[in-house]
C-alpha cells in the first residue's frame, strides 16, 4: 500500500457517456475525435484511451510528439500532434504512424509527400496555424494533399461572442479560394464548446477535449456533461487554534476565536494552486471548509469549526476536493483560473482509483 | 528522439555546491538533511538523490510514504515522511525502513516501540505537529524515545519577522519541561532560511529544501545559492499579427501595431501557471519577451517585436523560461506566487538534460 493522502477517482462510465453524448450532437458522417493531450487532461491516458476507444473513439489529438509516443502504446488509431512537425522529426512521425498538424510554411516544406498531415489555418487565434494570406500559395505548390483542414476557435465558450462566426466565415472563404482538390478535403473546426454552438460547424470531425472530462462547454447554462473526476484528500491532523493565533506560512491569517482546524495532505505540489490560499474550499458532507492561511507545498489547513448536522471529521477521514459539491469549474473560480488548469494540474502524487459504473 | 518543445537542464554540480555551502554554514556536529519531496522540488529524485549523496547527504525528507518508496529505490539512507503515520501503515514503514514524523497523539499511539520515529512539535504553524500542551503527557507515557525532536518555522524567510525567535523559545521551553531523556534527543529546527538566521538554531540537523535547488533563502539580500535549473522552450511558429488583431483565447489582448510574435510549446499543462497571462516574460538573448494574451494549455505567445542588437529568433530556436536572465524567484513574481510553486510545477512533459559541470 502507498498510503496516499490524495485519491483521484475516475469514472470511466461517465467519460464514455460524455463521449457518446458529444457524438450524439453531430451527424452520422461526422467523426468525434478525442483530445487527450496533457496526459488526458490530467486523468491518465492509460485509463482514458481504452475507455474512449470502447466508447467508439477512433482518432486522438495530443500536443507533443512525446505524448503521441505514449498514446501509440495504447492504441493503433490515428494520433495527431497539434504542435507541428519539428525539423528532422518526419521519419519518427512516419515510423510511429503519427500525423503532424502543419502550422507553418516550414512545417509544410519539411513534411514528406507520403506522411499524412493536417493543415491548420489560423482564423484569429494568432497562436499556431497558417495565415489565410499564405495558404493559397502553399496549396498551389503542395507536394501532396493533407488529410484534414482545421482551424481553432478563440471564444466558442462565450455565448455572447460572435468571433466564432467570423472565424468560420474566414475559414470557409479561405478554403473556397484554394485549388479545387483542397475544397474536397474533410474539415475540422469545433472544440468542445463549438460543438454546441452551430450544427453547420461540425463538418467531418469535431475535436472535444475538456467536455469529455466533465467541464461545462456552455458556461452560460447548466452543464450538460457528467462529472468524471472526484478528488479527495485525507485529514492528517485535527487541532484547535486558539483565538489570536495565526495559521500557516508567514502568519497571513489569524483566527478570531478558538477554531477547529483540519490539516490535509494536499498542496500546490499536488496541483492545488497556491492562489487558493485563504479563499478556496474543501467539502465535508456537502459543507464548505474554507482554507485558512497559505496553501503550502504538501499541506492545506481548513476551518471545520462551523459544520452542522453531520458527524465531526476525524484524522484519517477524506475531504472532497472535486466531486458532487465542488466541480472543477467551481473550484477554478476560487483559484482564479479555469477548469482546464484545475484538471491538468491534478496530482501526479495522488492515488488513482477507477470506477466503471455510475 | 522525443522532439520535446521543452527542456529542463539540471546542473547537478550546482546542486552539490549548494548542499556543500549549506553544510559549511553549520558546525561539524550538525547534519544537513536534504528535503526531496515533490519529486525533488520538480527536478526528479532520480537525478537529485545520487547527486546529493555524492555531495555528502545522509538523511532525506519527503512528504508522503509513496514518495519515500520511490526514494528508497535510490538510496539506503534514512528517509523521513513529514506527513505522519497513517493508520495501518506501521508495518509498511518498518519493512521499508522509513521514519515517520509523528504529528498527532494518534500517530504516536499507532507507532510501535521498535519503529524509529521523529516527534514534531508545533510552535506556531498550526498545521502539523503536537501542541506544546499535549507533548508533556505524551512524553511521560511514551513507549519509546523518538530519534529526533523537530519543529518548523512559519516566517524564517522574512528578515523583519521575529516569529522564528518566538518559535525557538517555545520549542526550547517545551523540551525543558519534558522528562530528562527527551532533553537529550537530537533536535532539528531549521528549514533553508532558518539556517541563515541564527547559528543557535542549527542544533543536530538542518532540513534545507528550496535553497538546495537554487532559490533565495534570504530574499532581503543577494541570493547566496547557485542556480540549478535552466528551462527552455522551443519556438513552434513566428508570425506577424496585424494592428487591431487579437491574440489567444477570448481575445483578451489586442496588438496596437503590426507585431512580430513567437509561439512556444509551453503552457499551463507544463506547469507554467496561467496566472502569467499577459504579464510574465520569456527571454531571448537576455531581452524580455512579454506574454501576449492568455497562457493556454500547451502554448504561449510572446511579443518579439522590440528585440535589439541580437539575431532574430526563428522557428526551432529556444527561449529562456528559467536561467541566467530569469530566476525562479523572479518568474514567481510575474506569476503571483513563490519560487517553490514555480519549481514544483515544472513540466512532467519536458525533456530533462543533466549537466555535471558549471
pLDDT at A177: 97
Distance CA B313, CA B261 (A): 10
- Among the partner-chain residues A64, A238, A250, the one whose CB lies closest to the CB of B5 is A64
Are A263 and B127 within 8 A, CB to CB?
Answer: yes
Are B344 and A297 a contacting pair at CB < 8 A? Answer: yes
Quick one: pLDDT at residue B20? 98
Q: Compare CB distances from B274 to A1, A87, A341 and report the shortest one's residue.
A: A341
Quick check: B310 pLDDT over 60? yes
pLDDT at position A358: 56
- pTM strictly above 0.80: yes
CA distances from B98 to B28, B67, B93 (A): 26, 11, 5
CA distances from residue B13 to A206, B213, B227, B357 in whole angstroms, order as listed: 49, 11, 10, 6
How remote is the C-alpha of B191 from its chain's centroid?
11
Give the best residue of A66, A80, A104, A127 to mutate against chain B (max B CB count within 10 A). A127
Could you tell me which chain B residue has the CA closest to the CA of A250? B155
Q: Cβ–Cβ of B247/A345 closer than 8 Å?
A: no
- Annotation says A93 is catalytic: no
CA A82, CA A101: separation in Å to the nearest integer? 5
* B4 contacts on A by Cβ (under 8 Å): 64-66
Å between B344 CA and nearest CA of chain A: 6
Q: Which pLDDT does position B358 carry in this prediction?
A: 56
The Cα B321–Cα B208 span in angstroms is 25
Distance CA A62, CA A76 (A): 14
Distance from CA of B253 to the nearest CA of A (A): 11
What is the nearest CA distance from A38 to chain B, expressed in angstroms? Answer: 6
Smallest Cβ distance to A86: which of B3, B275, B349? B3
Query: What is the pLDDT confidence band of residue B224, given thresholds at 50, 70 and 90?
Result: very high
Tell me, yes or no, if A61 is annotated catalytic. Answer: no
Enumerate the residues of chain A whose CB falls inside 8 A of the CB of residue B161.
Answer: 250-251
Number of inter-chain CB pairs under 8 A, A vs B: 242
Do the chains contact at A239 and B126, CB–CB below 8 Å? yes
Mean pLDDT along residues B210-226: 97
Asked if residues B64 and B55 have their Cβ atoms less than 8 Å apart, the reply is no
Distance, in Å, from the CA atom of B130 to the CA atom of B138, rounded to the nearest integer, reads: 9
**The pLDDT of residue A193:** 98
- CB distance A38–B69 less than 8 Å? no
Residues B36-65: tens digit of each pLDDT: 999 999 999 999 999 999 999 999 999 999
Render pLDDT for B114-149 as a digit per residue (tens, 0 to 9).
999 999 999 999 999 999 999 999 999 999 999 999
The residue of chain B with its CA nearest to that of A156 is B250
- Which residue positions in chain A have pLDDT lower than 70? 358
What single DSSP character describes residue B280?
A: -
Q: B268–A66: do the CB atoms touch at under 8 Å?
A: no
Q: How confident is the model over B308-333, as a mean pLDDT?
A: 97
Spatial separation of the C-alpha atoms in residues A106 and A86, rounded to whole Å: 9
Of A311, A343, A315, the C-alpha closest to A327 is A343
The predicted-structure confidence for A119-159, as pLDDT tens digits, reads as follows 999 999 999 999 999 999 999 999 999 999 999 999 999 99
User: Grid cell 506560512 — which residue?
Assistant: A249
Q: Which of B74, B82, B123, B77 is nearest to B101 (CA)?
A: B82
The answer, yes or no, to whether residue B314 has pLDDT greater than 90, is yes
- Given B19, B25, B37, B213, the catalytic residue: B37
In this complex, the residue of A275, A348, A351 whose CB is nearest that of residue B336 is A275
Q: How far is B155 from chain A (nearest CA, A)?
A: 5
Q: Average pLDDT in the B89-112 region?
A: 98
For position B348, what pLDDT does the model report?
Answer: 75
Beta pairing class for A253-254 and A259-264? unpaired
Q: Name the band, by pLDDT with cuts 50, 70 and 90, for residue B357.
A: confident
Q: Across the interface, do B84 and A316 touch by the CB < 8 Å criterion? A: no
**Hey, are the CB atoms on B126 and A67 less than 8 Å from each other?**
no
Indicate the SS3 state at residue A132. helix
Of B236, B336, B348, the CB nearest to A348: B348
For residue A251, the chain B residue with the least C-alpha distance is: B154
Confidence grade of residue B307 (pLDDT, cut at 50, 70, 90): very high
> Pairing relation of β-strands A118-122 and A98-102?
parallel
pLDDT average, residue stretch B162-173? 98
Q: What is the pLDDT of residues B267-301, one digit of tens each?
A: 999 999 999 999 999 999 999 999 999 999 999 99
Interface test with B, best of A121, A126, A275, A350 (most B CBs within 10 A): A126
Residue from B91, B168, B174 nearest B139 by CA: B174
pLDDT score recorded for residue B300: 98
Nearest to A241 among B83, B126, B351 (CB): B126
For residue B1, how many other CB atoms are within 10 A of its CB?
12
Q: CB distance B251–A104 less than 8 Å?
A: no
Choose the closest CB to A315 out of B4, B106, B292: B106
Distances (CA, A) of B95 to A287, B99, B148, B277: 39, 11, 20, 47
Among A95, A166, A274, the residue to mutate for chain B (most B Cβ within 10 A): A274
Alpha-carbon gap: B331 to the closest alpha carbon of chain A (Å): 15
Contacts of B300 (CB under 8 A, 6+ apart): B233, B263, B264, B266, B267, B272, B282, B291
Residue of B nearest to A70 (CA): B2
Position B349 scores a pLDDT of 83
Kindly report the length of chain B. Answer: 358
Q: Min CA distance, B127 vs chain A (Å)?
A: 6
A161 chain-B contacts, CB cut-off 8 A: 250-251
Residue A289, strand partner residues: A282
Nearest Cα of chain A lies from the Cα of B321 at a distance, in angstroms, of: 18
Question: Which residues from chain A sit within 8 angstroms of residue B62, using beta carbons?
Answer: none
Q: Please indicate whether, in this complex, the C-beta atoms of B104 and A237 are within 8 angstroms of each other.
A: yes
Amino acid at each position: 500500500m502507498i498510503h496516499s493522502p490524495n485519491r483521484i477517482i475516475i469514472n470511466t462510465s461517465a467519460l464514455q457517456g460524455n463521449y457518446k453524448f458529444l457524438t450524439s450532437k453531430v451527424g452520422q458522417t461526422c467523426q468525434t475525435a478525442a483530445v487527450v493531450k496533457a496526459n488526458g487532461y490530467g486523468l491518465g491516458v492509460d485509463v482514458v484511451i481504452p475507455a474512449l476507444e470502447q466508447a467508439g473513439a477512433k482518432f486522438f489529438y495530443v500536443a507533443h510528439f512525446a505524448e503521441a509516443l505514449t498514446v501509440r502504446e495504447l492504441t493503433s488509431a490515428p494520433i495527431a500532434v497539434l504542435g507541428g512537425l519539428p525539423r528532422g522529426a518526419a521519419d519518427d512521425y512516419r515510423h510511429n504512424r503519427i500525423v503532424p498538424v502543419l502550422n507553418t510554411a516550414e512545417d509544410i516544406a519539411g513534411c514528406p509527400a507520403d506522411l499524412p498531415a493536417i493543415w491548420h489555418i489560423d482564423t484569429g487565434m494568432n497562436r499556431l496555424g497558417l495565415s489565410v494570406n499564405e495558404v493559397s500559395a502553399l496549396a498551389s505548390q503542395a507536394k501532396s494533399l493533407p488529410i484534414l483542414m482545421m482551424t481553432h476557435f478563440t471564444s466558442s465558450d462565450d455565448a455572447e461572442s460572435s468571433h466564432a462566426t467570423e472565424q468560420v466565415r474566414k475559414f470557409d472563404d479561405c478554403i473556397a479560394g484554394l485549388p479545387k482538390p483542397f475544397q474536397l478535403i474533410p474539415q475540422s473546426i469545433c472544440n468542445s464548446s463549438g460543438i454546441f454552438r452551430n450544427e453547420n460547424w461540425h463538418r467531418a470531425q469535431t475535436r472535444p477535449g475538456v467536455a469529455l472530462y466533465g467541464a461545462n462547454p456552455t458556461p452560460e447554462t447548466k452543464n450538460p456533461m457528467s462529472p468524471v473526476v472526484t478528488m479527495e484528500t485525507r485529514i492528517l491532523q485535527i487541532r484547535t487554534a486558539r483565538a489570536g493565533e495565526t495559521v500557516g506560512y508567514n502568519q497571513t491569517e489569524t483566527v478570531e476565536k478558538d477554531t477547529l482546524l483540519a490539516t490535509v495532505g494536499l498542496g500546490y505540489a499536488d496541483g492545488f494552486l497556491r492562489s487558493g490560499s485563504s479563499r478556496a474550499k474543501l467539502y465535508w458532507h456537502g459543507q464548505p471548509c474554507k482554507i485558512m492561511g497559505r496553501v503550502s507545498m504538501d499541506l492545506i489547513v481548513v476551518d471545520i469549526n462551523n459544520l452542522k448536522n453531520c458527524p465531526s471529521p476525524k484524522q484519517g477521514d477524506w475531504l472532497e476536493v472535486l466531486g458532487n459539491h465542488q466541480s472543477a469549474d467551481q473550484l477554478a473560480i476560487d483559484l482564479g483560473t479555469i477548469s482546464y488548469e484545475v484538471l491538468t494540474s491534478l496530482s501526479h502524487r495522488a492515488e488513482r482509483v477507477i470506477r466503471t459504473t455510475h
